[in-house]
Structure formats: structure tokens, C-alpha cells
Structure 1
Amino acid sequence: MSLTTRIFHFLARMPLPLMQRLGAVLGWLVWWLSPSYRRNFKANVQAAGVAWRDARPAVAAIGAMVAELPWVWMRPHSAKLDGLVTWDGAEHFEAAMQAGKGAIIMSPHLGSWEIGAQAIAEKFGPTYGPMVALFRPARKAWLEPLVANARTRPYLDSAPTSLAGVRTLIRTLRNGGYTAILPDQVPPLGQGVWAPFFGRDVYTMTLLAKLAQQTGAQVIMTWCERLPAGQGFCMHMRPFDAPEVKDSSVSPEVAAAAVNRGVERMVLDAPGQYLWGYARDKQPRAEG
């Protein structure tokens, strides 16, 4: 076992509220030590037209998200989230599943998306089967065994980020299953289009809209709110009924713009928990 893995195992045993508080301090430490991070963060907030007082809590929230990872990734499969996660709007997901056309969880870099994926699989898996999501192998070799524990939990299945993986998602949705997509993740070159996001053109994935258009699956706007330390999380779920995401005759650019508007709505509901430091307007990388 590597030193890093040992450290993760040690941190995973710490109380989650303690790690969140330490993470908040870490968030502000990085903020003050990295001028480039600070500039990028502020530029994204300004471009979105969000008041600084509303976005400022995200500095600590981002640190808390990082500090949660050992607990989230190393959590024993037998340990349940019962009592830690409350639900707001779960009936929308259940209605979509009962309609038989499947559901696409649209969950951006907002709140604790890692906890969110595990919570959804744990709550709905026994009734509706596993959530199938695309997962790219960790870029750092030392991260792989740590991430693997989180990606292979009960009722949480992974598919490769390849054409075969996309076909798996299509089959899953057509069979009435469900998946989760990070809609504000910059896709590789050739897998997206340029579309407006908070007033700037950003490279936006086309996958989410294509899945919805090809399968008829209901898109569910979802984000996992991190409550004050010690109070757990709240999962928010709302149907996303933008007609552009259901109409295969519209251009990819129009559909992507609609997806971005959906992400904007969620971010504006909780600007203090968005990953503002993420370079959403960066150039896409070449696949390979």
C-alpha cells in the first residue's frame, strides 16, 4: 500500500464534519496562495453576473468538497447514507422511472456531486436497478485504487468513455434505466459544440441532449447541497423539460445552449456551492 493510500485510509476514518471544516480552511488557504486561481474564480463569477457576496461561500465549499473525498471514496460498501441525506423532489425521478423511458441525471459541478451519485444509487438501486455512468480511468496511477472503491459500489455501474460506453448508456435508457451526466464538463475535441454559458461561448458536450433525443428519457436537474458541517446533505431533483433537448431536429448548438441554461438555473439557485474555479471556458483537449 502506497503512502498516499495510507493517508487516504487514515483521513477516511476522520469524522466527516471535521474534514469539512478543515476543508473550508484549505479552500481559503488555496485562495490566498494562488493568484491565478483567484483571478479565474473572480472572472467566472463576474461573467455570470453573480454578486460576490453570494459566490464567496464557494471558496470554502470547494475546499470542503476536496476534504470529503477520502471519506466518500473509501467509505465501506456496507455503510449506508441513511440519515445523512435528505431528499427534495425525489418524486420527479420516480415518476420518470415509472413512465418506463428512463432518466438522465443532469448534475453539474455544484455541491457534492460525488456523494450525490452514491446517494442516488443507494436509494433507487434496489427498486430500479443500478445507475450506469461513464467513468474515465484516473489520470494518476496512484488514484486508481482509491477511485475504484467509489466507482464499483452496489447499484453503481461504470461504462468506458468510448463509443461502446455510449452504446451502453443508450441501451440502459431504452430499457428504462438511468444514468448521470456532468453537463458542465469540457468534453474532448470533437465531442462538443460552442454554446453560450453565462454570456460566454464555451465548449459544451452534445452527449446529454443526444441521449435524451434518441431514447426519450426524462432529464432530471439534480444537485447535492452540502448543508452546514454536521447536518449532512440535501439532494434536489427537478424535471428539465426544455423542448430543444427532446427535439432531434434542432441543431447540436441549440440543444447545447438549452443544456447550459439548465445548468445556469441550478448554479444561480446556489452560487455559494459552485466550482467557480473550474476553467469552463478552456479549449478542449484532443482525445487520445
Structure 2
Amino acid sequence: MRLLFALGRHLPLRVLHFLGDLIGGLAWCFDARRRRLALRNIELCFPERTPREQRRMAYRASQHYYKSLLEYPLIWTGDAGRVHALAVETHGRELIDHALAQGKGLIIAALHLGSFEAAIIPLSAHYPITGMYKPVTNPELDRLSREGRMRFGAKLVAIVKRHGKRAVGSELLRALKRGEIVYALPDRDPPRGQGVFAPYFGINAHSPILSARLIQATGARMLICTGERLPKGRGFIIRLSEPPAGYDSDDLGIAAEALNRGIEACVRACPEQNWWAYERFKRRPFGEYCFYKGTQQLPKPDPRPDTSVPSAS
């Protein structure tokens, strides 16, 4: 692990991306599960595309996925000047200052599209940022990921279960009440009881409500963040944009639907860089069939979502 990181942090970005193209192409051929998942999701989200176009998108997404993995040594442990220089363009930086000036904190919805870490990690050198991360079983990789994400001053909250629930809300709430930035990853299926079903690409998708609850508790603003990967290792274009109206609604369903519309717009603008090999639509409303099962079975009913406001104590 140390050898791989020692090598990866010194290689030019164009070389890392070239290797990502090679490995991603091989994975497309041999990793049947990820290939099926990507194709199924793209078929669901882009039914207007021809089968050939869908396969092309899924193939390119496989290459971009492995580019993301190969970027970690550089972003987490590479020379600080190189890491800051990865963002060759940043659009919407002024929105951060405007939101923080209101004194109620800011939530950045960071998407698994391109490299959000190429944006968030350098940003923590200029703003107080707290983010969530999921510990990994490999202790060396877990250490590298934590230290890499905190290298410029960010704080991390581990997503761990306490009393059967994932407890992160109180730490994020305290950061927002201090008028700081927190970032969350809203394009994933949350655990049971921590989401609501809301449209995403025209499909009812189980969607997180943590950000909406934090906004209800603090009045914080929100921005959506993506790090679009440029060709030939030229770096990234960082885009910060406001989500559609309704993201701060008191109705969790309306808030989740608005955020999903914003996420969908970003994915449609750069679909090949989205992480498609993920069971985004696995959890279904009671009575609907799972999209990914070979043999269709009715899912168990979801419990009512936890709509309480997280405590700051």
C-alpha cells in the first residue's frame, strides 16, 4: 500500500489517467457484476439512448472510476502545490462567501461525479470544513484516507453506528451553528429510516434526508459541487451551483426531490464521469420489484423516516 502511494503521488496526472483508461477497460471485460450494474442504471436513467450509446457511456464510466482510485495517492499525499493546481477552473466560488456571510453555515452536496475530492480537500485550506467518511477495514488505507482528507485543516466525522443508528448529525449540526461548512454525499441510498422516496431520473429513489434536517435546524444554505475531469490529465473544472428551489422546504419529500433535480442536472451534463456501478435504486417502495434481482421479490416495507432534528449536545 505504501509503495503504491509513494509511486502514485509522484506520477503526472496524465499518466494516472492513462493507467485508469487501461485498468478501467480491462475491468469492463472481466468484472461482470460492475458492468451489469452500470448498464442497468444507464438503461434506467437514459432510456432514450441507443444500446450502443449506453454501452459506450458505461465503458467510459468504468475508466473514470479507476481514474478516481488512481488519483487518491496524489490528492491525499502529493505535493500541496500540485494538489491546489489540479483545479484549473473554479466556477461559483463567490457563492461560498455569500452563503457564509449569512452566518448560518453552508452544506456542500459533493457528488460522485468526476472527483469531488479534488475540489473539497484544497478548499479546506481556505474555509473551516467538516465532512463525513466511512471507515474502511484496511487500517493503513483508512489512515491514509483520513490524513489525506484532513491534510489542509478539514475535520472528519466517521459514519459509525451508535445504538443501531448512524450518528453523524450532531457533529455536523455543531459545525453549522458555528457558521462553518459541512459536506455530504447525497447521491447514495441511505440506510432504512434515514431517507424518503423522491423522483430521480423519473424513478422513485430512496434519498437521504440528513441535509434537509440540518437545514431545518439551522437555516444553512446549500451548494452542489462537482469536479469535472478534463481530458489528457489537464486537471479539473470545479463547479459550485445552487440547488433548485425547494431544497430548504420543511417537507422532507419536497426537499429531497429538489436536491435530486439538481443532482440529475449535473449528471446529465457529464454522464460518463458518474459512478454508475452502484445499486442506486436497490431500495424500492413497498410493493415494487427490485431492478437488480434476477428473480423478482417484493422488498420489505421501509420504516417511517427519522424526521427528528439532530441534537447539538
- Aligned residues of 2:244 and 2:259 also touching (Cα < 8 A): no
Moved more, 18-27 or 61-70: 61-70
1:265 matched residue in structure 2: 265
Give how far 1:148 is off: 2.4
1:276 matched residue in structure 2: 276
Residue identity in the other structure for 1:221: I
Alignment of 1:42-53 (within 5 A): 42-49=39-46, 51=49, 52=53
- Aligned residues of 1:96 and 1:218 also touching (Cα < 8 A): yes
Residue identity in the other structure for 2:139: A
Count residues with an aligned counterpart.
Answer: 273
1:157 matched residue in structure 2: 155
Alignment of 1:1-288 (within 5 A): 4-49=1-46, 51=49, 52=53, 55-56=57-58, 57-76=60-79, 78-79=80-81, 81-85=83-87, 86-122=89-125, 124-125=126-127, 130-161=128-159, 165-243=168-246, 245-248=247-250, 250=251, 252-283=252-283
> 1:81-110: CA deviations, max 9, x gaps?
343212111111221112222211111111
Query: Cα distance 1:270–1:19, how it changes in 2: closer, same or farther (>3 A)?
Result: same
For residues 62 and 159 of structure 2, what CA distance do their matches in structure 1 show?
30
- Aligned residues of 1:192 and 1:204 also touching (Cα < 8 A): yes
> 1:118-137: CA deviations, max 9, x gaps?
13213x32xxxx20112222
Between structures 1 and 2, the one with greater helix share: 1
Give how far 1:283 is off: 4.0
Moved more, 148-157 or 232-241: 148-157
**How does the TM-score come out when normalised to structure 1?**
0.86
- Computed over aligned residues only, the root mean square deviation of the Cα atoms, in angstroms, reads 2.3
For residues 168 and 63 of structure 1, what CA distance do their matches in structure 2 show?
32
Q: Which runs of 5+ in 2 are unaligned?
A: 161-165, 285-313
Which secondary structure state, in structure 1, belongs to the residue aligned with residue 240 of structure 2?
strand
- Aligned residues of 2:187 and 2:263 also touching (Cα < 8 A): yes
- Aligned residues of 2:121 and 2:150 also touching (Cα < 8 A): no
Residue identity in the other structure for 2:146: A
> 1:138-175: CA deviations, max 9, x gaps?
23334212212213212211123367631121121122
Which secondary structure state, in structure 1, belongs to the residue aligned with residue 233 of structure 2?
coil
- Aligned residues of 1:105 and 1:219 also touching (Cα < 8 A): yes
Give how far 1:10 is off: 2.3
- Aligned residues of 2:208 and 2:256 also touching (Cα < 8 A): yes
For residues 230 and 276 of structure 1, what CA distance do their matches in structure 2 show?
22
Residue identity in the other structure for 2:248: K
- Aligned residues of 2:244 and 2:262 also touching (Cα < 8 A): no
For residues 34 and 81 of structure 1, what CA distance do their matches in structure 2 show?
31
Residue identity in the other structure for 1:261: R
Q: Which runs of 5+ in 1 are unaligned?
A: none
- Aligned residues of 1:48 and 1:198 also touching (Cα < 8 A): yes
Query: Cα distance 1:138–1:44, how it changes in 2: closer, same or farther (>3 A)?
Result: same
Which secondary structure state, in structure 2, belongs to the residue aligned with residue 109 of structure 1?
strand
For residues 16 and 96 of structure 1, what CA distance do their matches in structure 2 show?
33
Which secondary structure state, in structure 2, belongs to the residue aligned with residue 18 of structure 1?
helix
Give how far 1:61 is off: 1.5
For residues 109 and 27 of structure 2, what CA distance do their matches in structure 1 show?
29
Percent of aligned pairs with the same amino acid: 30
For residues 38 and 240 of structure 1, what CA distance do their matches in structure 2 show?
31
Query: Cα distance 1:202–1:247, how it changes in 2: closer, same or farther (>3 A)?
Result: closer
- Aligned residues of 2:25 and 2:63 also touching (Cα < 8 A): yes
Query: Cα distance 1:35–1:160, how it changes in 2: closer, same or farther (>3 A)?
Result: closer
- Aligned residues of 1:213 and 1:246 also touching (Cα < 8 A): yes
Query: Cα distance 1:80–1:94, how it changes in 2: closer, same or farther (>3 A)?
Result: farther
- Aligned residues of 1:111 and 1:274 also touching (Cα < 8 A): yes
